[in-house]
Amino acid sequence: MTTTTRADSAGRYRFSALHEGTYIVRAEMAEYGEATAGPVVLGMNEEKTIDLTPASAITSATQSTSSSVPQFFDQPTFTVAGVADATNLGGHGSDAIVRNRNALAKATASLSQDPADDKNLVVSIDAHGIDAHGEDARAKLQAMLAVKQTAELHHSLADVEEKLGDPLEAVQEYQRAAEMNPSEPNLFDWGSDLLTHRAAEPAIEVFAKGTSLFPSSVRMLIGLGVAYYASGSYEKAAQRLYQASDLDPSDPNPYVFLGRMQSIETAQPEGLTEKLARFVRLQPDNALANYYYAVSLWKRRGNAEDATDLPQVESSLEKTVRLDPQLGVGYLQLGVVYAERKDFPRAISAYQQAIKVSPRLEEAHYRLAQAYRQTGEKLKARQEFELYEQISKETAGDVERERHEIPQFVYRLRDKTSGSPPQSQ
């Protein structure tokens, strides 16, 4: 059974009254050919959004590199392999830095897909014979690929492999999908999967190529920035995120990634405070905007005696916790400000509130212990230090378990003359 509809002038389309089952979605567009997505499993009373971009619609973006598919994808410049027992996964420094890099990588992968901008699409949806999950879905997709190789099927198989816990197979399938159809979604998913599994250098290569093909993609620049950050290049990471924020100043994502990076790093890249100030100007009632701006002002001080920005720091932090009373780090930073000027009663109150809303915020326990010690409350100080040490051990254990559970990705560079690697960034 095939059902057909026509997209409106904005490229939007909709099917209604579909039965539960598995479908293949196809789109045809005059002058640009067709695109296919699926298998798409639709449950009872479930709604799904499928973005489709006909492969030749990106031709104009790739013409400057090649007359058809860029050479980079004809012969990729690296292959990916898995190591069963990873003990050193590309990070350096404290576990806090490793945790932050891991969190940013996962946040990158969760960025929502850019809306389709295709016009005059004719979309059809077919009921298909796949009604399976897990191993069955893998087997049926492999059988379909044996009959016909398509980028969409490779991408679907990559999704299945990731869910089945085989990241090596998953990233290879994402790579095949991107080689066959180097669309923005396919490139982004390939790069973000590499990044999620800590293959930072290959991810940089993929995202760099993606930004050259799709220079207006904010999330591609974010991916490149986070990949640089994961590799330890904080300055390069910040510059890519600056570019992303300039592309679409109203998009909060680049600012949030910048803020999360500065929360763990000690050095402040030039221009960071100005970007975060713009975030506050554009979104004055965003709690994170106020928090990250306050932290950037706090960190850029020359020394502890520099009180130039302290009124603004305190005001922004107080606004932060008014806007979001559940943001524990806001109370924590307020406590730090109060403690520096020796106002320990207010610092203790702020730390206590941070712990109330975020009980596992280890730094809040540590600083509360210090504040208790300053006020002579030795028993309370010892109790908070013990809580801090307990939480620190548990979170360190989480990092160590993740190090052994996620296979390390290593890459082997091929002969550079066999293809055209991305231009240096």
pLDDT, tens only, 349-399: 999 999 999 999 999 999 999 999 999 999 999 999 999 999 988 877 665
Backbone dihedral region for residue 267 (phi beyond 0: left; psi -120 to 50: alpha; all else: beta): beta
Q: Are the C-beta atoms of residues 90 and 200 closer than 8 Å to each other?
A: yes
**Which of 18-22, 34-38, 180-184, 270-274 shows the lowest per-residue confidence on average (mean pLDDT)?**
34-38
- Please check the confidence at residue 418 and state whether its pLDDT lies above 70: no
Q: In terms of Cα–Cα distance, which of 1, 35, 41 is closest to 23?
A: 41
For domain 325-397, the CATH superfamily is: Tetratricopeptide repeat domain (1.25.40.10)
Q: Are the C-beta atoms of residues 370 and 386 closer than 8 Å to each other?
A: no
φ/ψ of 2, rounded to 5, equals: -125, 130
- Please check the confidence at residue 244 and state whether its pLDDT lies above 70: yes
Q: In terms of Cα–Cα distance, which of 271, 247, 248, 250 is closest to 258?
A: 271
Note the pLDDT of residue 315.
96
| DSSP 8-class letter at 305 | T
Q: Cα(first)–Cα(last) distance of the chain, in Å?
A: 49
**Which of 2-11, 226-235, 244-253, 384-393 shows the lowest per-residue confidence on average (mean pLDDT)?**
2-11
Question: How does the average pLDDT of the chain come out, rounded?
Answer: 76
Cα–Cα distance, 35 to 20 (Å, whole number): 23
What's the rounded mean pLDDT across residues 244-261? 92
Cα–Cα distance, 89 to 142 (Å, whole number): 31
| Omega of the bond leading into 39 within 30 degrees of 0 (cis) | yes
Note the pLDDT of residue 136.
85
Q: How confident is the model at residue 25 (pLDDT cuts 50, 70, 90)?
A: confident
Q: In terms of Cα–Cα distance, which of 288, 364, 283, 363 is closest to 327?
A: 288
pTM: 0.69
Cα–Cα distance, 89 to 402 (Å, whole number): 10
Kindly state the percentage of the chain with pLDDT values over 90. 44
What's the rounded mean pLDDT across residues 267-292? 94
Note the pLDDT of residue 111.
75
Cα–Cα distance, 219 to 22 (Å, whole number): 30
Cα angle: 45, vertex 47, 49; to 5 degrees: 170
Structure tokens at 375: 């006020």
- Please check the confidence at residue 236 and state whether its pLDDT lies above 80: yes
The residue among 308 and 110 whose pLDDT is bigger is 308
Cα–Cα distance, 93 to 123 (Å, whole number): 50
**Which of 34-43, 47-56, 226-235, 384-393 shows the lowest per-residue confidence on average (mean pLDDT)?**
47-56
Note the pLDDT of residue 97.
55
Among 27-31, 80-84, 357-361, the range of highest mean pLDDT:
357-361
Structure tokens at 205: 């290569």
* Burial class (CB within 10 angstroms; exposed 0-12, middle 13-18, buried 19+) of 325: middle
Cα–Cα distance, 167 to 402 (Å, whole number): 14
Note the pLDDT of residue 390.
93
- Please check the confidence at residue 84 and state whether its pLDDT lies above 80: no
pLDDT in tens, 119-170: 333 434 343 434 446 788 888 889 989 999 999 999 999 988 988 888 888 8
Note the pLDDT of residue 250.
93
Cα–Cα distance, 388 to 177 (Å, whole number): 46
- Please check the confidence at residue 280 and state whether its pLDDT lies above 50: yes
The residue among 420 and 217 whose pLDDT is bigger is 217
pLDDT in tens, 200-227: 889 999 999 999 999 999 999 999 999 9
Q: Can you give the C-alpha Rg of the chain in angstroms?
A: 25
Q: In terms of Cα–Cα distance, which of 271, 207, 199 is closest to 235?
A: 271
Question: Taking the alpha carbons of 169, 171, 173, 176 in that order, is the dihedral positive or negative?
Answer: negative
**Which of 36-50, 72-86, 132-146, 341-355 shows the lowest per-residue confidence on average (mean pLDDT)?**
72-86
Domain spans of the chain, in order of start: 325-397
φ/ψ of 17, rounded to 5, equals: 60, 40
Structure tokens at 23: 């479908």
* Burial class (CB within 10 angstroms; exposed 0-12, middle 13-18, buried 19+) of 67: exposed
